[in-house]
Amino acid sequence: MEISVQRAAAGGSRPVYRQIADQLRAEITRGSLAPGARLPTIRALARRLEVNRDTVALAYEELARSGVVESAVGRGTFVAPQGGPGGADAEPYRPAFSNLTRRLLDFERARPRFGVATDAVPMHALVPDPSLYPADAFRRALDRSLANSGGALLLYGGPQGHLRLREVLAERFARAQMPARPDEIVLCHGASQGISLALRLFAEPGDVVALEAPTYNNALAATIGLGLETAQVPMRKEGPDLDALERTLARPEVKLFYTIPTFHNPMGTTTRLAHRRALLEIAGRHRKPVIEDGYEMDLRISGRADPPLAGLDRSGLVVHLFSFSKSLFPGARVGAITARGASVEALLALKQATDLSDAMPLQAALAEFVASGDYDRHLTRLRGVLRRRRDALIEALAAEMPPGTRWTEPEGGYQVWVELPEGFDTAALLPDAVAAGVLFAPGSQFHADGRTSRCLRLTFSMAGEDALRHGVAALARVLKERLQRAPHHEPHVYV
């Protein structure tokens, strides 16, 4: 079996994993690989072709999706039996996916894969540490809510969600300088569904939406899935570039602006009050709605909290997103969209058409959990842990990283944005880091165009203080080895 790959730098036009899949498919079609033949292991083929194991895994996954091969856990990957209902020579069914689906598949396949790195320090994931989940207290809240409401919680609920939870959230939002009535809140399946619903409020396939660069990669995925085009507004230390925002929102084809002003993902930065007011003035002048993602708003660990954009907005331009996924646990899948006026009615229509109803038992349990004070007790404990982890990570970066490295110092949330010296490509660096026992998110995955980046995101959500120090030391060793091997020959890359 002869397989070769052509890298992009040498003129290759197709992704390497697709080159591998195409050649294997051709071998099977020619009969060089008969039905039942075992393919090389992922590790063996990756070593032979001198590529990352995830690249080979992607090729095998593509072949499996088209029915060419079959995988058996613990046994390997085999050429699938040819034929079926159409006869021995029938071609396997190949779905004709829509253009949107194909674009989304390409986006998802470009994301880093970490399945082979089970023992590495997890500084890539934006997921709360399961050891900190208040499982027992939440179970008691769920028991109480079911005992109090009985079978009524097991029926379909209205599209707006559980009233008591909306009342509880309205009280909390008011204390966070964002007054809202319960009837201005629509509950949803986490902020992720909130992003899609809010985008659909104002944009349809083919429209352009403005996003920060870099920005949350699942927001990028949502725009692709909805058939939207993007206009990128560069991020600065103080927040989105206001001059660029002015020019972007002046374009008639741009329908809205999505922003994360508090504990930005991936940068971890927080914009100040004057910047927030200026942003709203620009949006108001151009009559363009703003989607404010406040997914980590309950995770402040230092500094003073300024009002959310939605709390400063007087004209109803801002749609605000909230989630329990980062502050509590993601399995509850409960978030909230806050809007005003006609936007609420439109959100309810979209929600009804999307999924009819949320899970009422979980929403009722969350209302009980928050009202009882258990949520605030959990937040007090969590914030203390996060403060210590953040400080350990920042101290380790200062002690270990090579000269010229810069990083943000977040006032809350889980993430730190690291900018390496000129010459590094963090996507290309990732395989060496995984081999050294540390995981991170390369900067390219937070840009709509997937541009090469010398930046990376480190999180302190899953790893303890000692593990964070170990992970930074391992990453620093990889960087220093790269600098020693090729101090003058790395290509120029962009932030």
User: Which tokens hold the place of 7?
Assistant: 């890298």
What is the per-residue pLDDT for 70? Answer: 87
Please state the domain extents for the chain.
8-95, 121-132+377-485, 135-375
Please give the single-letter amino acid code of residue 391: D
pLDDT at 116 over 90: no
Element (H, E) at 244: helix 242-249
**Mean pLDDT, residues 457-467:** 97
Encoded tokens for 266: 């991936």
What pLDDT shows up at residue 87? 46
Instruction: Please state which of the ranges 45-59, 250-264, 304-318 shows the lowest mean pLDDT.
Output: 45-59
CA–CA dist 469, 463 (Å, integer): 10
Structure-block tokens of residue 364? 């009722």
Secondary structure class of 187 (helix, strand, coil): strand
Mean pLDDT on 94-117:
78
> Sign of the C-alpha dihedral, residues 335, 189, 272, 200?
negative
Decide: 180 and 338 in contact? Cβ < 8 Å: yes
365-379 burial: b if 16+ Cβ within 10 Å, else e = bbbbbbeeebbeebb
Nearest to 117 by CA among 427, 436, 426, 416: 436
Q: State phi, psi for 201 to the nearest 5 degrees.
A: -60, -40
- pLDDT mean over 264-272: 98
pLDDT in the model for residue 65: 81
Within a 10 A sphere around the Cβ of 73, how many other Cβ atoms?
5
322 CB-near residues (< 8 Å, 6+ apart): 169, 173, 191, 194, 294, 295, 297, 335, 336, 337, 338
The answer to whether 126 touches 326, Cβ cutoff 8 Å, is yes
Sheet strand arrangement including 239-240: 185-188, 335-338, 318-323, 290-293, 254-259, 208-213, 229-236, 239-240
**CATH number listed for the domain at residues 135-375:** 3.40.640.10
| Average pLDDT over every residue of 198-203 | 98
The pLDDT of residue 7 is 66
C-alpha–C-alpha distance, residues 216 and 222, integer Å = 10
CA atoms within 13 A on the CB side of 462: 15
Burial class (CB in 10 A: 0-12, 13-18, 19+), 223: buried
Q: How far is CA 298 from CA 301, 316, 457, in A?
A: 9, 23, 21
Q: Which residue has the tokens 């949520």?
A: 375
- Per-residue pLDDT band for 150 (boundaries 50, 70, 90) equals confident
How far is Cα 322 from Cα 324, in angstroms, rounded to an integer? 7
| Nearest to 417, CA basis, from 213, 133, 200 | 213
Domain covering 121-132+377-485: architecture = Alpha-Beta Complex (3.90)
For the purposes of burial, counting CB atoms within 10 Å of the CB of 465, is it exposed (0-12), middle (13-18) or buried (19 or more)?
middle
* 29: Cα within 13 Å, side-chain hemisphere: 9
Minimum mean pLDDT among 112-116, 358-362, 422-426: which range? 112-116
- Pick the closest to residue 141 from 382, 462, 413, 377 (CA basis): 377
- Length of the chain, in residues: 495
- Is residue 225 within 8 A of residue 100, CB to CB? The reply is yes
Instruction: Please tell me the predicted confidence (pLDDT) of residue 103.
Output: 87
User: Selecting from 1.10.10.10, 3.30.390.50, 3.30.70.260, 1.10.3480.10, what CATH number does the domain 8-95 have?
Assistant: 1.10.10.10
Q: What is the DSSP letter of 8?
A: G
Our CA angle for 11, 14, 17, nearest 5°, is 120
Average pLDDT of the chain, as a whole number: 90
- Position with higher pLDDT, 246 vs 102: 246
- Say which residues have a Cβ less than 8 Å from residue 405's Cβ, sequence separation at least 6: 397, 418, 419, 420, 421, 479
8 falls in which pLDDT band (50, 70, 90)?
Answer: low
Torsion, CA 247, CA 248, CA 250, CA 255, rounded to 10: -170
Name residues whose C-beta falls within 8 Å of residue 194's C-beta, 6 or more positions apart in sequence. 188, 321, 322, 323, 335, 336, 337
